[in-house]
Chain A
Amino acid sequence: QDVPPYTEDCRSGTYPPSGPTYRGDVSWYTVNLDQPPSDRWRKIISDKKQPLTAMMQHIKDLTKYIFHTEKLIDLVDTKLPGLVGKLPPPFDEEIKGIADESGLPLGEVMLFNIFYEIFTV
């Protein structure tokens, strides 16, 4: 894996982060676990609604492009919501709260949360 300039010798002096490989600090939020699960993520989701919707839309566009059909998306939107209740608590209610706050279809929010298992395909 030595393919200069795509690989480089060990960097130094990169911390504190700055320069072209640093896009910014990650912002902090608090989730109150004493709240009902469906309310915990409301603040974060109301701040991140737009990028979350954009990311979901890209996944849908990609699915349509690869499989040349919207059937898979329909399946996600119609069938997955029936399975959310089978997820272990508190994740089922947290995912419902995220769908409610973001306005995204429940099936798509669930798909995002099980993407690791799906993606291993």
Chain B
Amino acid sequence: CTSVVAEDTSGKLLHARNLDFGLFLGWDVKNSTWMISELLKPLVVNVNFQRNNKTVFVSTGFAGYVGMLTGMKPGILTLTMNERFSLDGGYIGVLEWILGIRQGAWMSFLTRSVLENATSYEEAKTLLSKTVLLAPAYFILGGNQSGEGCVITRSRQSCLDIWELDIQKGKWYVLETNYDHWKPPLPIDNRRDPAMKCMNRTTQKNISIATIYDMLSTKPVLNKLTTYTTVMSVSENKLEGYLRDCPDPCMPW
């Protein structure tokens, strides 16, 4: 996955992501595609969650999956999550949960609760950084004011880092794939550098939904695992989801 929160020169925040999933879960030699990625694409839906006929939040997700991986609370915040790998992984959390040790939250239920109940960027940041989890994760959070964008790196028990926008220092975007931002990514899976190269070439002056979509359409940021691309603008109250394909030649991940 690749998630990015960017601030343009007018202080408007944009949040976008590629949802990549299905690695090693079956390769279709004939079509040179990942089977699970292809089976997930027909399940992708945008959902408008309403209460009293008013929108509480909107999301892009998979039918049948009640947790949230991508969402926007109109006028307040945007949230995506990317998978984080750690030896102290979710399988330990699941075992503990099955054995009755139930302090930890299921990752996607936490994101759903944040989108449904949080009333501000700061409140969401606190919930996402302090709630004990069953699995490690990256939460990428955007707010509704200048400077409100961050990547929260989580282990199961604690928050390892919060990497924030810092416009004064020229940090006008934060971009997360699936590696701790202070460490180099796996050389055979370095989608970070190509993505940052395109963001830097775009420059803050030209960042927009269109140019962020360009970056997310550039191989290997777009790859065989990419099921959908979602772009969000909290100030324009816009969430757009698009199903993706990556015709050969294309990186498998």
Interface residues of A (CB under 8 A from B): 1-3, 5-17, 20-34, 41, 44-45, 47-48, 51-52, 54-55, 58-59, 62, 83, 86-88, 91, 94-95, 98, 102, 109, 112-114, 116-121
Q: List 27 A-B contacts (CB under 8 A).
A: A1-B187, A3-B251, A5-B249, A14-B217, A21-B245, A22-B244, A22-B245, A23-B245, A24-B243, A26-B242, A29-B45, A30-B47, A32-B50, A33-B50, A48-B42, A52-B64, A55-B39, A58-B36, A86-B97, A88-B109, A91-B106, A91-B112, A112-B65, A113-B65, A113-B106, A117-B93, A121-B89
B215: shortest Cβ distance to chain A, in Å? 7
Q: Chain B's interface: helix, strand, loop or mixed, by majority?
A: mixed
Given the complex, which residues of B lie within 8 Å of A9, measured CB to CB?
Answer: 218
CB < 8 Å neighbour of A121 from B40, B91, B214: B91
A94 and B106 CA atoms in complex are apart in Å by: 15
Number of interface residues of B (CB under 8 A): 82
Do B63 and A14 have beta carbons less than 8 Å apart? Answer: no
For residue B11, CB closer than 8 A to chain A, the reply is no
Closest-by-CB residue of B relative to A99 is: B64
Interface residues of B (CB under 8 A from A): 25-26, 35-36, 39-52, 56, 60, 63-67, 83, 85-86, 89-91, 93-94, 97-98, 102, 105-109, 112, 116, 134-137, 187, 189-191, 193-194, 197-198, 201-202, 209-211, 213-215, 217-220, 222, 228-230, 240-247, 249-251
Closest-by-CB residue of B relative to A4 is: B249
A56: shortest Cβ distance to chain B, in Å? 8
CB < 8 Å neighbour of B46 from A7, A28, A117: A28
Do B46 and A27 have beta carbons less than 8 Å apart? Answer: yes
